[in-house]
Amino acid sequence: MDQPPRTAQLSDAPSQPAPPRSAPLRIALAGLGTVGAGVIRLIEANADLIARRAGRKLAITAISARDRSKPRGIDISAYAWEDDMAAMAARADVDVVVEMIGGADGPALALARSALAGGKALVTANKAMIAHHGLALAAAAEAAGVALRFEAAVAGGIPVIKGLREGTAANAIERVYGILNGTCNFILSTMEDTGADFAAVLAEAQRRGFAEADPAFDIEGTDAAHKLAILAAIAFGTRIDFAGVETAGIARLLAADIAQADALGYVIRLIGMAETEVGPDGACRLFQRVQPHLVPRAHPLAHVDGATNAVVAEGNFSGRLLFQGAGAGDGPTASAVVADLIDIARERAGSAVPGAPFSVPVGELESLPRAPSGHRRSRSYIRFTVADRPGVLAELTAAMRDAGVSIESLIQKGRGGGDGADAVGVLVAMVSHEGPEAGVTEALRLLEGSDSLTSAPLVMHLLGE
């Protein structure tokens, strides 16, 4: 009787030799702070897994930092120490330089330039350096035929740069926005949960290590603006314009603002937003802004709490995409740095080629004029702290009327004290109907110098769902 055909088993197949592995990717690491030490720990802990995924080993051959004797919780004795970072970058046994020093200029920039000029690939987590000098560094990388990678510069361990550069490559991105600073998000969500005012929560964030001793870089919005400028360049194929980011921080927020937003069905988050728009002359313009917003509870960003980051990208075919995760810390940030190293290892192994750092070659990036915010239509939250006397409310509403601002709701609180208003003032908050932002600006101009105001007004826009 005929036998049924025999199904081949895995054991029947002739054994195939494993493909030859390329030589290790040799790494020089400058900066052994929290993240730099985390990179070493990650490469050591996951060495075999990384080698399988990269097609070759990652080998740290040289390191450099300011203080060789500082305890870091890792054993650095196996790596060659270089006091001179430029000499480290020039070593013949180095393929890629990892810059973990920080700062827009100074030693970090000098190292980046020397590495690329010497034909070494560069990986950095330095958002300030990329925001200020990224185009020049990208041009140097292209000229040398080496990779420039900076995934860890934006949103820590969230692969948002790779997502925009590769995952949405077929889409025209219409808008990119999100929560880009974990310190601010921790402060705002804690104010929400506890009812405490800004100063008390900031002090607690500093005690717990969520905020720096000098928190200005975070709370004034500069850190988020650096990240937004980078995301905008990648999303829209435009030249970085950090100076064009309209920036406002969170230091003037009161517990009363948080409570009022809650009563209206919103939470307050520091939002970085970038989008392109067509001006009245038919030319495309770039709008970039970092500012506290009232976010509706139905929006995904309303549920991002603590030190978490989240980025929303809206593509014309992909629709709304949400990238969310830990935006800082040694583990998540080191993860993004090593992911960049794995990409470079694959490129040098011949399975990929270096891609343009900003999605397209530097020479093809568009230089767009800045879009003014005045014509943008939005609903606005305007908070005044005013003298407690008759006629003040009429003065405020008259200014709004004369500027063409329609008031949707008005809330007058009692004397400041516990709700965070000035101790000698009364808090008045208004929410406008949708209209040009220039109207609100004009209303505030009309109120300039009024002795009815005991402090400068605060304006926040409402994020659409």
Q: What is the pLDDT along the chain (465 residues), one digit of tens a residue?
A: 444 444 444 444 444 444 445 799 999 999 999 899 999 999 999 999 999 999 999 999 999 998 888 888 898 989 999 999 999 999 999 999 999 999 999 999 999 999 999 999 999 999 999 999 999 999 999 999 999 999 999 998 899 999 999 999 999 999 999 999 999 999 999 999 999 999 999 999 998 888 888 999 999 999 999 999 999 999 999 999 999 999 999 999 999 999 999 999 999 999 999 999 988 888 899 999 999 999 999 999 999 999 899 999 999 999 999 999 987 788 899 999 999 999 999 986 554 446 789 989 999 999 999 998 988 999 999 999 999 999 999 999 999 999 999 999 998 875 544 444 445 589 999 999 999 999 999 999 999 999 999 999 999 999 986
Residue 232: alpha-carbon gap to chain centroid = 11
Q: How many Å is the maximal CA-CA distance in the chain?
A: 108
pTM listed for this prediction: 0.90
pLDDT digits (tens, 9 = 90+) for 368-418: 999 989 889 999 999 999 999 999 999 999 999 999 999 999 988 755 444
Integer CA distances (angstroms), 362 to 97, 153, 233, 275, 300, in order: 21, 19, 10, 20, 34
Scan for tokens 């917003």, then name that residue: 293
Dist CA 122 CA 311 (whole Å): 25
227 neighbors 355 (Cβ within 8 angstroms): no
- Residue 417: per-residue pLDDT: 42
- Residue 354: per-residue pLDDT: 62
| Domains of the chain, first to last | 25-157+333-364 (3.40.50.720), 165-326 (3.30.360.10), 377-462 (3.30.70.260)
- Residue 352: per-residue pLDDT: 47
Q: What would the two tokens of residue 39 be? A: 């990179």
Dist CA 149 CA 162 (whole Å): 10
307 neighbors 326 (Cβ within 8 angstroms): yes
Q: 57, 127, 162, 227: which one is catalytic? A: 227
**Known catalytic residue at 227:** yes
Query: Listing from the earlier edge strand, what are the strands of the sheet with 96-99?
Result: 80-81, 58-64, 25-30, 96-99, 121-124, 148-149
Question: What stretches of 223-283 adopt beta strand conformation (E)?
Answer: 246-247, 266-278
424 neighbors 350 (Cβ within 8 angstroms): no
Adjacent-strand bridge partners of 453? 386
The closest alpha carbon to 430, from 230, 260, 231, 209, belongs to: 260
